[in-house]
Structure 1
Amino acid sequence: MSNLHKRAGADRSAAALSVNPLYSGLISEGGVPRYRLPDGPMHPDAALAIIRDELMMDGNARLNLATFSTTWMEPQAKELIGECLDRNMVDREEYPQIADLEGRCVNMLTELWHDPGHGIGCSTAGSSEAAMLGGLAMKFAWRRRGHAGDRPNLVIGTNTHVCWQKFCRYWDVEARLVPIRHHGGAFDLRLDPEDVASHCDENTIGVVAVLGSTQTGAYDPVAQIAAALDRLEAERGIDVPLHVDAAGGGFVAPFLQPSLVWDFRLPRVRSINASGHKFGLVYPAVGWVVWQDAADLPDDLVLHTDVLGGPQETFTLNFSRSGAPIAAQYYNFLRLGFDGYRAVQQTCQDVARHLVAGISELGGLEPLTDGSDLPVFAVRTADDLGCTAHELSDRLRRRGWQVPAYHLPPALEEIQVLRFVIRNGFSFDTADKLLADLREVLRDVRAPGGPEPRARHPLTALTR
């Protein structure tokens, strides 16, 4: 469903909401219009009840395996969020303590990502804004190197989040897409380092590697991509910075794969973005972006203003936003610490691996990833199942489960997959209930008179 909404036509302007008769004493006799402002106020209890009734049509967030966003926080965190909703992050003169909490979070993240001590960063409204700020910094740094008259390009994989193609379109940067390819009858779900380097030239503002694809959960080989870019500079003199989109993995890899070198331990990695409202365990919306050195953030991108009563620096795509998510992120850092985050993420990964093993035993579904990177995995339907991934997703939705079905990106676009995102709060018991429902759905699909088997892209599944 699109997030763009057209104005309702004149014939719908008189449409009214269906209201429970028990609320009739709390609203005006004219009813509640659906597409225009009511003529007057109503009782707050009535407004709350009407909206709650409508929201019952939404799915159960805890059974939503489609979203990466956090769907549960502790009551204490929710209380803190309510207390901080009125604090405007941009007004650092009025709310200096929220600004200080933001700075502490940035320092904790830079240490977690092995910053050598010269880094700079900020919070954002989400990881997409953080990615775009990272992209803008790369573009301005490239322009500062004397390429103002040329058209810049950004090398990204077809496995990147759509926000990177948005960045390229909105800021007039050529998107050089490196496809995920199949190799020798099987296919990998990560970027090939040499393929990445071959797409770079003097006008490449940067390369984006993904630490946790939203399509499959797989990590790009960041260290190998950095090495390929090092060789490119040594052989051709082209210095290309590497940005890591760690929207998911930035809050997973440090705890579950501490020996994996993907962050500021690699000099080629100049900036990192991450999403606090994904595996950072905060309700939407908060993101983070950090540069390895203050010099990686060009001065002409940072604006200075005193409109709020005191001098301050700002580098965002918006202006006003609530400080509540910052307080919630800091709450999690204090509440969980390193060991707490590791325990939460390990449980998510254990549940993901449990689901992968159970799905493999059901037959009819082939895992393409196994949850060993992010606690996320993708599966495709087997040749003899006779049911598309989209049809299977629809059958699961009827049982309350939200499991997205989609096509893999170009070069593998004929393959339909189902993706499962395991977040905090999705227990082993819940996973077993999902497996039981999957078993019944697959039994129904295989029943006589079911759909005919269909042809499928002739590739062999690769479980990582």
Structure 2
Amino acid sequence: MPERIADPRAVSEMIRAELLLDGNAAQNLATFCTTWVEDEVRRLMDACVAKNMIDKDEYPQTAEIEARCVRILADLWNAPLETTAVGCSTTGSSEAAMLGGLAMKWRWRQRRLKEGRPADRPNLVCGPVQVCWEKFARYFDVELRQIPLEAGATGLRPHQVAEHVDENTIGVVAILGVTFTCDYEPVAAISAELDRVQEATGLDVPIHVDAASGGFVAPFLHPGLEWDFRVPRVVSVNASGHKYGLAPLGVGWAVWRDAEYLPADLVFSVDYLGGDMPTFALNFSRPGGEVVAQYYLFQRLGREGYRRVQEACAETARWLGEQISALGPFDLLYDGRGALPAVSYRLKPDHTGFTLYDLTEQLRVRGWQVPSYPLPADRGDTVVQRVLIRHGVGRDEVSLLVEDMKRCLERLASGSTGAPHRPSFHH
């Protein structure tokens, strides 16, 4: 730390110059997170920079806006009218997922203790999940039963569930938008399989839907798909407002079908307008601006606006899938149809000469961040790439990506991976 005070403009310019070395967020096709926001959002967040979201008694109107967002999401995700849905904002869907997991663990433990049975070996069943669920299992002492990904599958399949659940299972996590492949897992079919398990064994296993990405996509692109509270076994849902919810980093949401699914032991009360305000979160200091921004977007866009944004993204993703398929060396795992606005693909099994990791490095030369990674759970020998299309990534940008992919493939096929030769410039 310097000894003396410095000119604010000089320090600001120094840091801005250093930040130029970061990648261009608009070309980051690896992230689900919002990289474009309106100026009105920036101004609202500036107005809230000093407001701690957790101090509900100090900032009651911000707390009311958070509550409105929860009610909007409960309605969007078809919570039954006869129930009292509850929920909260979080720092992102990872915290929201952990809250959902904690609620399931608590209810399972309460039931086991009431029955006079041991409650020291809880497990959670899932398919290919994001690392936040691995963190949840380790932090809160839960066995994570991650079901291996079958050949040709893009997520958990219903028939795999039965052999992994038992009396110690706190719940099954179904993913609406698998991180690795971008496809939806069939929530309703997984629920039907758990119905059969209950008929055969008496085990009543709830479902938590990790809708980190799909929770703000499916209601607008696939309104007939039953994945949410229309499925009776779904007790809770988490989603990222800062992904396809279009809000800036970082805000997430956790919503429970009814207050009975959020154990009272996990809820703390704070003073709020002369009464008590229940709160349930892992983080007790975070700005209110992201929640206010989410509410602005709900009011600004409405259902029509969200539908138009997601339809435009989906159309671009489908076009990109067609272009990548036509390039030759790739097999599409997910073509942008029926789930997230994205594509995922791998090299054809008989392809040789270069890897997807080589292609990732070549695309970086032009600033594109396109991730390559192995599939999880017994499919680690299969490496895939994924391109996410979100608000702000349009057909023009994706057309440039396709042209750059063609040039990169030509260089890799020729064995020349250095910078292309260009004649020097002369005055």
Q: TM-score of the superposition, structure 1-length normalised? A: 0.86
> 1:97-246, aligned counterparts within 5 Å?
97-117=61-81, 118-147=84-113, 148-157=118-127, 159-182=128-151, 187-246=152-211
- Conserved in 1, the CA contact under 8 Å of 2:57 and 2:272? no
Letter in 2 for 1:444: R
Partners of 1:292 and 1:107 lie apart in 2 by 11
1:48 is paired with a residue of what secondary structure? Answer: helix
Residue matched to 1:83: 47
Q: Give the direction of change, closer, same or farther, for the CA distance of 1:295–1:44 in structure 2 (3 Å limit).
A: same
Q: CA deviation at 1:194?
A: 2.0
1:34-433 superposed matches below 5 A: 37-117=1-81, 118-147=84-113, 148-157=118-127, 159-182=128-151, 187-306=152-271, 311-372=276-337, 373-382=339-348, 383-433=350-400
Could you say if the C-alpha distance between residues 341 and 450 of structure 1 is closer, same or farther in structure 2, counting changes exceeding 3 Å? Answer: closer
Which protein, 1 or 2, shows the higher relative CO under an 8 Å CA cutoff with sep ≥ 6? 2
Counterpart of 1:238 in 2: which secondary structure? coil
State the number of aligned residues.
410
Report the AA paired with residue 143 of structure 2. Answer: E
**Post-superposition offset of 1:154:** 0.5
Q: Contact (CA 8 Å) 1:385, 1:446: kept in 2 or not?
A: no
How far, CA to CA, are the matches of 2:402 and 2:385 in structure 1? 14
CA-to-partner distance for each residue in 1:330-374, whole Å, 9 max, x for gaps?
010011000100000011111111111011111112211111210
* CA-atom RMSD in angstroms: 1.6
**Contact 1:385-1:445 at 8 Å conserved across structures:** no
Q: 2:308 and 2:252 mapped to 1: Cα distance?
A: 22
User: Once the 2 structures are TM-superposed, how far is the Cα of residue 277 of structure 1 from its aligned partner?
Assistant: 0.3
- The answer to whether the Cα contact below 8 Å between 2:57 and 2:271 also exists between their aligned partners in 1 is no
SS in 1 for 2:229: coil
CA distance in 2, matches of 1:328, 1:308: 23
Could you tell me how far 1:450 is from its partner in structure 2?
Answer: 7.8
Deviation, structure 1 residue 304: 2.5
Counterpart Cα distance in 2 of 1:179 and 1:376: 23
Distance 2:80 2:178 in 1: 27
Unaligned segments of structure 2, at least 5 residues: 419-427
Residue by residue over 1:307-342, the C-alpha shift from the partner in whole angstroms, topping out at 9 and shown as x without a partner, is 999743221101111100011000100110001000
Give the Cα–Cα distance (whole angstroms) in 1 for the partners of residues 218 and 93 of structure 2: 17
Q: Provide the C-alpha distance between the structure 2 equivalents of 1:44 and 1:168, rounded to a whole number of angstroms.
A: 45
Residues 126 and 174, structure 2, Cα contact 8 Å, conserved in 1: yes
Deviation (angstroms), 1:385: 4.7
AA at the equivalent of 2:93: S
- Please state whether the residue corresponding to 2:136 is helix, strand or coil: helix
- 1:137-185, CA deviations, whole angstroms, 9 ceiling, x for partnerless residues? 000000110245431000011x211100100000000011111111xxx
Helix, strand or coil for the counterpart of 1:145? Answer: helix
* SS at 1:438 equivalent: helix
- CA distance in structure 1 between the aligned counterparts of 2:78 and 2:391, rounded to whole angstroms: 25
Structure 1, unmatched stretches of 5+, are 1-36, 452-464
TM-score by length of 2: 0.93
Query: How big is the shift at 1:449?
Result: 6.8
Query: Is the Cα–Cα contact under 8 Å of residues 153 and 174 in structure 1 kept in the other structure?
Result: yes
When residues 433 and 450 of structure 1 are mapped into structure 2, their CA distance, relative to the original with a 3 A threshold, is: closer
How much does 1:38 deviate?
A: 1.2
Q: In percent, how many aligned pairs have the same letter?
A: 52
